[in-house]
Structure 1
């Protein structure tokens, strides 16, 4: 969220992402024992032999590597996306599995010149090696394809290793094909609700996917190292195992873990209404209408006080009311206004972060400091909980630890909300998304910011531009289908054109998106595969900018949210 009137830097991702397409394999050559890896120098053990990298962007490094003694490191610069490619000999009318292990900045893997449908896949930045994989079928006269990796403009360098184009021998392959992977290790329960159990495990070298078993029965397959098993019964124990798979077969099952679902009604929120509106209240004057908490309209169910500030102690935060900037608003008045809102059934929480927030929770000590300091603010001012609006990154492991510690102190009535940027919720592997899933049993709502983001990927694999119903619904779908319950998903929008650098939409568009998701009406070109009547609602930055515009946003969106099914 912005403290100042100047627009935030807009992140542009237009046209950046292409989803791997499903392919018909009816005419494909079946895999056989003669299948090979048709890529040459696939592990970069011979430097960049057989590879061409744009603008001299590529080199080889000895560490970190996924296998062998070398890996590719390619660095985007300026208008160059660090594209490294190789022409691979293939057979016509044949099916191939293209894969690579990648680490670092945004990384794309794909194939062109297939003679049928060219394919690609991608991943956001990753702190450890993870596998990208897709398949393609060659055309009737195709004897070679170009496989490539590239990064993205202005992003960090990426690493790549152990590239494979596995399938019938095209006459040029020299590297060995895959072997059956080993059993996954580190399987653990990362979160539970009354109807689901979330799991995570360690990556397995050579695996292209994983199968999840519940009580001995295969229930789902994923390509990443986490999964959420849904449709479970409350307060029930289940046994889970995972296997690793690739073109050579399936591994033995992992050691079993037991996950017990929460009692009915899991998730944070206390006595919040079924559908709720969140508004950020500015503890500073940046040109928007200056307000007291008592001035915030009754349409707002959750008021997020922006912002708590970092201290000299790692992870710890404090809150300082800007009495001078708010026209002499005193701490005693502030506390009394919070109590009055709570008496009216509203929740008032303290928000941590914002565009310029520098709170870092990166180890156990800072996690404890965060929990202790937020709980102290709750006791001092009467806050009902905390909002996580860290726009400069967070550590999923230790933020999870911090919020669970806070929950243990504050009890089941604790409100926990989040306001990630769109890029933070594009994939369940992103730290924000992982944190949300990790605390799903105590999380109230994620109000993603659908603004200041440019174009982004929707759950259908298409790219949508901000400022439309489709942008809101197709991006919300990622969270709704990625493991969060509908009651934990809200749509975050600016209250006016002055509230953000870009992405403002009229309240009518917000209401149409809410109807599309909750009722199946009012949709644009994107239509969700099902409806989500439990959708929590909407959020805006800010109640102050709303007041500046005559409360047009809350007057239109508030009643609409509260009238959802």
Structure 2
């Protein structure tokens, strides 16, 4: 599979990737260049936890209608809603905020016919220092996930897209952001609810199970970090394992989309270094389209599609 984030804002108008800005989620170029999963980014989250998903919720934002989501799904796409991102945090210190989040995001998920929810929380999540004892922020993120899953159909999907420090960074030390996702990943990997893990192999170092680190954008780092999760990362006596068929590592689509960009040749080496991976994720379809869709075309070819 090939998964791409879809931006609900215009990245050409703001000068970030002028070659291609906002496009409809139904744009045939998305599937035409190999994408079969699209993750819609991002709802606005108010201070009290209220979730907004509507045109104009932020400057220049346009979101797909329920009919457009259904049209995208009919074209072969799985469509997820991503919460969080660098600019849309949530106060994870408050159970009341968590409950308000659940109460307002579930109607959006149902009304817009999303196939699943992607957890891309990048701020406010910290570990307690003891992996066997959840911090308030970890407990409230689990409260959110459980609250959403309890109200959605049995086949509703769950994915997560943490930065490396929050996962394999726990091999270096456990506490603060380091390894903060590990108890959450373990819970849903072990109980079977996690569809897959989209760890961001960019904007930070990559880590092996022994605390060894590698620069982003290196095939060695990609291989070692992916193998670590497949074989099992043990922290304070607790082992977290995410098998290859539940891993969909994230890479930048084009130069400028994120640190550690890998060109087509390196993407091919990385993909071939770890047999059995479920797929690859990228930030973002809009970035990819802005420079000729080379990431999508490369991965589609690697996957023989």
Q: TM-score, normalised on structure 1?
A: 0.44
**Partner residue of 1:446?**
197
Q: CA deviation at 1:303?
A: 0.8
Contact 1:283-1:322 at 8 Å conserved across structures: no
Q: Is the 8 A contact 1:460 1:474 kept in 2?
A: no
- 2:30 maps to which of 273, 288, 297: 297
Q: Residue 52 of structure 2 corresponds to which residue in structure 1?
A: 318
Moved over 4 A (4+): none
Give the secondary-structure state (helix, strand or coil) at the position aligned to 2:260: coil
Which of 79, 86, 94 does residue 348 from structure 1 map onto?
Answer: 79
Query: Once the 2 structures are TM-superposed, how far is the Cα of residue 459 of structure 1 from its aligned partner?
Result: 2.7
In the other structure, the counterpart of 1:551 is 293
Uncovered stretches (5+) of structure 1, i.e. residues with no partner: 1-275, 519-532
1:469 aligns with 2:219: yes
Shift in alpha-carbon separation, 1:349–1:562, aligned structure 2, 3 A: farther
Question: Match of 2:257?
Answer: 499
Matching residue of 2:238: none
Aligned CA distance change for structure 1 residues 447 and 392 (closer, same or farther; 3 Å): same
Distance in 2, Cα, partners of 1:412 & 1:558: 30
What corresponds to 2:186 in structure 1? 437
* 1:282 equivalent in structure 2: 7
Conserved 8 A contact 2:92-2:124: no
Counterpart contact for 2:26–2:68, Cα < 8 Å: yes
Tell me, yes or no, if structure 1 residue 459 matches structure 2 residue 209.
yes
Aligned to 2:101: 370
Residue in structure 2 matching 1:516, options 266, 273, 286: 273
CA distance in 2, matches of 1:369, 1:446: 26
How far is the alpha carbon of 1:466 from its aligned partner? 1.6
Q: Deviations over 1:461-503 (max 9, x none)?
A: 4331222111111122232223123222111011101212x21
Counterpart CA distance in 1 for 2:117 and 2:264 is 26
Higher relative contact order (CA 8 A, sep 6+): 2
TM (norm. structure 2) is 0.80
Q: How does 1:165-180 map to 2 (within 5 A)?
A: none
Residue matched to 1:384: 115
User: How far did residue 371 of structure 1 move?
Assistant: 2.3
| 1:278 Cα offset (Å) | 1.1
Asked if 2 retains the 8 angstrom alpha-carbon contact of 1:424 and 1:431, the reply is: yes
Give 1:364 shift: 3.5
The answer as to whether partners of 2:89 and 2:124 remain within 8 angstroms in 1 is no
Q: Residue by residue, what CA displacement relative to the aligned partner does 1:514-547 show, whole Å, maximum 9, x if unpaired?
A: 22111xxxxxxxxxxxxxx2x2211000000000
CA contact under 8 A between 1:293 and 1:334: conserved in structure 2?
A: no
Displacement of 1:422 after TM fit? 1.2
Higher helix share: 2
The answer on 1:560 being equivalent to 2:302 is yes
Secondary structure of 1:404 counterpart: helix
2: distance between equivalents of 1:553 and 1:473? Answer: 19
Query: After the TM superposition, which residues 200-211 of structure 1 pair with which residues of structure 2 at under 5 Å, given as runs?
Result: none
1:85 matched residue in structure 2 = none
Does the 8 Å contact 1:308/1:351 carry over to 2?
Answer: yes
Note if contact 1:491-1:538 (Cα within 8 Å) is conserved in structure 2: yes
